[in-house]
Amino acid sequence: MSLGFVLAVTFSIFLGILTYYLWIWTYWMRKGVKGPRGRPFVGVLDVLLEHETPGLIKLGEWTKKYGKVYGYTDGTQRTLVVADPAMVHEIFVKQFDNFYGRKLNPIQGNPEKEQRVHLLAAQGYRWKRLRTISSQSFSNASLKKMKRTVEDSALELLRHIEKQTAGGEQIDMLRFYQEYTMDVIGRFAMGQTDSMMFKNPIVNVVREIFCGSRKNLMLICQVFPPIGQFIRDLTFKFPRIPAFKLYSIMQDVVAARIAQREREKGAESGEPQDFIDLFLDARSDDVDFSAEAREDFSKRNLKITKELSADEVVGQCFLFLIGGFDTTALSLSYVTYLLAVNPKIQEKVIEEIAREFGTSEVEFEKLGRLKYMDCVIKEALRLYPLASISNSRKCMKTTTVNGVKIEAGVYVQMDTWSLHYDPELWGEDVKEFKPERWSTDEPLEHKGAYLPFGLGPRQCIGMRLAIMEQKILLTHLLKNYTFETGNKTRIPLKLVGSATTSPEDVFVHLRPRIW
């Protein structure tokens, strides 16, 4: 082989790669769609991954500049940003059949091929099977059973708070809430039998997943997807990255439970004790998912099996642990901050708790009566839609949405922060914390305007558990304490994060109350 030939081949490959990246980068320019361009190869990805200035808030600045629909490229992905509620509703609900995939980073694996895929990443019929099986975990009957464990963790947290605040110190409630949500989800998804609050080493592993900046890793994986896949395969073998470390811990936990169930085979099988049991009950060694991810939803009569592969059992437990830890702790932190800086609203919540529960037990059936607390949680999530990164879809079939043509393969990212802060949708007092705006029973005028838990068939599956956890803990906390700002409380909060949007800390005083 001559040197000339080798050079010609090398040059052709280089030219091919360059053309591909330029084709991606110029995609929206060629379509005549406005938007920030960034730089070739990366597009605006580096800006979006900035931990110190959350990318999802950055979208709002671009929405102001380019309008409610615009496009950008991030690595090899072409993304259309939407802040128009009618279009959001069309994509999430009416045209779900054309938008049933989600936007993923290549390090999360290829949802069409990956064996370890979980509900958040899955698409097509595979998603439908995983969703059908997982939904049982959050039925009314399951939540009612979970309530006792949730309350046990809430009371344990109160004991820790009592000790830590005895000297009148301000405490960072975000850290305390993370211990609480980890304790709850650890008991449902990790086989933990008792409270491990403030002594669970896994909290730090999970914290690292959310709190650390993963900018460089994500940048490399999204700009060069084959490298993302390579790192994924490698780290499953040598788990160094926190998410993979946790996955490997979860594998051991599930393997231990399988062994325990084998040992106890023959004994009367009781009801599932937690998510692991529930998923293992659906386990089957011959689940064939090879074509499932690519199936669209037009074949309505396709039968859905209710079986999971062993990898999928681990994947679901892992996802529930991740999903259940950070989001709920953040939501509690934002509520706490907003109540501390709005004492009159806090007083109303306390009055409602006194009226509904007094000194009596916090019963599951009565949680629904805490209507004002519901409004407070909803309004906090309007002002701080902490998980808006998940409000994305992949266009699976070229279609037109409200006059905008969207081609198969394009991703759609909803600009949740702009929707939640749009004065045309919420009124001129949009920046105010006003729980009363939720006190009407009327449905929202603009159906796609409010997305703290997403919308449509892929809406957050853990929403009811998240709300129950918050209501139980807030009830116990506000029966005993009042949240007050102190010299360490940051007003306004400093927000960070590239996955979820988090306050850096939420220091408050907890003043003991005499009931």
- Please enumerate, by residue number, every residue annotated as part of a binding site for heme: 460
Q: How many CB atoms lie within 10 A of CB 219?
A: 19
Instruction: Decide if residue 454 touches ligand HEM (CB under 6 A).
Output: yes
Distance CA 473, CA 200 (A): 20
Q: Is the dihedral of CA 244, 103, 208, 127 positive or negative?
A: negative
Instruction: Decide if residue 70 touches ligand HEM (CB under 6 A).
Output: no
- Contacts of residue 186, Cβ cutoff 8 Å, sequence gap at least 6: 192, 196, 200, 202, 321
Instruction: Decide if residue 117 touches ligand HEM (CB under 6 A).
Output: no
- Residue 336 buriedness (CB in 10 A; 0-12 / 13-18 / 19+): buried
Instruction: Give the SS3 label for residue 392.
Output: strand
Distance CA 71, CA 282 (A): 42
For residue 125, the cross-strand partners are: none
Cβ distance to ligand HEM smaller for residue 335 or 353: 335
Residues 372-411 that bind ligand HEM (CB under 6 A): 386-387, 390-391
Feature table: binding site:
460
Residues 71-110 that bind ligand HEM (CB under 6 A): none
- The alpha carbon torsion through 352, 358, 363, 365 (nearest 10 deg) reads -40
Nearest to 135 by CA among 248, 243, 282: 282
Residue with tokens 């939540």: 143
The amino acid sitting at 33 is: V
Cβ distance to ligand HEM smaller for residue 75 or 323: 323
Cβ distance to ligand HEM smaller for residue 231 or 473: 473
User: Please, what is the minimum distance in Å from the beta carbon of residue 23 to ligand HEM?
Assistant: 29
Cβ distance to ligand HEM smaller for residue 76 or 331: 331
Q: Tell me the per-residue interface mask from 324 to 353 with ligand HEM, x by CB under 6 A, - otherwise.
A: x--xx--x----------------------
Cβ distance to ligand HEM smaller for residue 48 or 386: 386
Cβ distance to ligand HEM smaller for residue 196 or 414: 414
Q: Tell me the per-residue interface mask from 288 to 327 with ligand HEM, x by CB under 6 A, - otherwise.
A: -------------------------------xx--xx--x
Task: Sheet containing 392-394: give its strands across.
Answer: 69-74, 77-82, 411-414, 392-394
Given 34, 51, 58, 131, the residue binding ligand HEM (CB under 6 A)? 131
Given 75, 191, 462, 497, the residue binding ligand HEM (CB under 6 A)? 462
- State the residues that interact with ligand HEM by CB under 6 A: 119-120, 131, 319-320, 323-324, 327-328, 331, 386-387, 390-391, 452-456, 458-462, 465-466
